[in-house]
Amino acid sequence: MIICRAPGLCNAHPRGNHIIAHQVAIVIGVSGVTGTPLAEQLLQSPEWKVYGVSRGARRFSAEKPRGAFFHVSVDLTDRQATRRVLGACSDVTHVFYCANHGDKYTRLAMIANVIDAVQAAASNFANINLLQGTKYYASHLGAFKTPAKESDPRTPGADFYYSEEDLVIERQRGKRWTWTAVRPHSVCGYAAGNPMNLVSLIGIYGSILRELGQPFGFPASQRCFETLFDVCDSGLLSRAAIWVSTAARCGNQAFNVNNGDYFRWKNLWPALAGFFGLAPAGPQRYLMAEFLRDKRQLWDEMTAKHGLQPFPFDRAPGWAQGDYTPPHSRFACEYDLISDLVKIRQHGFCEAMDSEHMFLAILARLRAEKVIP
């Protein structure tokens, strides 16, 4: 991906940068595990010109650089700075909001600042797409109705996305532009700027077990081992987000997105063990977060030994636990974590992916990129 860093100068003439674009996207949170592949997917089409927003210069990756990518650096919590910088991007037609950090009120302020800046400056603004997730269905609070459907009622006390959605709906009322939202579960992929996701976690875990000469034990209970789970490849999610954002019949609606299959860890575990050359083993007494908590020194030694890229290992235990209460975690729950895909298929997006193949392909890339040995 070619990056042109031009804060405040985002309305650079397309012809001067060899771009022939009919639609112009601005990707908020472009350095993340969802923002990076989204920008890469957009750049595969000559119909898109792409701006990417992050606080500062980050490392981006793409197997085949195509087109010009404009990097915009701005603190979205600063209303005036956001107005000034994004206001210069007057040709924007679509906003893809992939940032998901900070507390509730910080996130609300950031979204409001983006919308206010873009709709004031961009006369052809058509859609803002929100990245949500299964926490919309209170998946982090305990067992919930599955498979989750977009029409399910909101759960009291589960306001992880509700306020953000309500804010956008209120801002959109009476306007020509529309909003859409995608709700994946456990997005998996590779982003050099933000490596924390389920596949990298499994890659670290398996690599440590191999270094210790231990079998590939499942770091959760038997019940977790047997429940249904779904995941979403970051590339597939990107294509789904682009689809719903540009199809007129999808406007002002939310859509579940995942790979299209469901699995039980007990059936996937032998294939993952095989990637590391380890014998698969069943449930263990520890959770992954507990296992990783005292492994920082070992990982540093492995990094030096195998010439690995630097990795924010200290964040791994907390990310693995997430907002779930033991014996649950991001990695595994003692209740099914699955969403219904009928709606997005009926609206025309029918892409699917084998989750086992996805895990093995991303692990292979992490190895090739020297993230894991």
| Runs of H (alpha helix) within the chain | 35-43, 79-87, 104-121, 162-172, 198-212, 222-226, 234-246, 265-275, 288-292, 296-306, 316-321, 342-346, 355-368
Query: 3-class DSSP state for residue 204?
Result: helix
Say yes or no: domain 188-232+261-338+353-368 is CATH 3.40.50.620: no
Give the C-alpha distances (Å, rounded to integers) separating 351 from 131, 235, 263, 332, 355: 18, 11, 17, 25, 13
Question: Which tens digit of pLDDT belongs to each residue from 314-333?
Answer: 989 888 887 787 778 888 89
Question: How many residues are listed for the chain in this entry?
Answer: 373
The answer to whether 2-185+234-256 and 188-232+261-338+353-368 have equal CATH topology is: yes
pLDDT value at residue 181: 98
Long-range contacts of 212-215 (CB under 8 A, 24+ apart): 212/298, 214/278, 215/273, 215/278, 215/279, 215/280, 215/281
Query: 3-class DSSP state for residue 113?
Result: helix
CA dist 61 and 293 (Å) reads 29
Q: Phi/psi of residue 249, each to 5°?
A: -70, -10
Q: Are strands 263-264 and 48-54 parallel, antiparallel or unpaired?
A: unpaired
pLDDT value at residue 320: 85
pTM here is 0.91
Residue 237 structure tokens: 């999610």
Q: Are 214 and 162 in contact (CB under 8 A)?
A: no
Domain-wise residue ranges, the chain: 2-185+234-256, 188-232+261-338+353-368
Residue whose structure tokens are 């956001």:
82
Closest Cα partner for 34 from 231, 318, 241, 250?
241
pLDDT value at residue 15: 31
The correct CATH number of 2-185+234-256 out of 3.40.50.720, 3.60.150.10, 3.40.309.10, 3.40.50.10800 is: 3.40.50.720
pLDDT value at residue 68: 60
Q: Are 183 and 134 in contact (CB under 8 A)?
A: yes
The tens-digit pLDDT sequence of the chain (373 residues) is 434 443 333 333 333 333 445 899 999 998 888 998 999 999 999 899 999 998 765 444 333 333 467 899 999 999 999 999 999 999 999 999 999 878 899 999 999 999 999 999 999 999 999 999 999 999 999 999 999 999 999 999 999 899 999 999 999 999 999 999 999 999 999 876 567 889 999 999 999 999 999 999 999 999 999 999 999 999 999 999 999 999 999 999 999 999 999 999 999 999 999 999 999 999 999 999 999 999 999 999 999 999 999 989 998 988 888 778 777 888 889 999 999 999 999 999 999 999 999 999 999 999 999 999 9
Q: Phi/psi of residue 364, each to 5°?
A: -65, -40
Residue 29 structure tokens: 């949170």
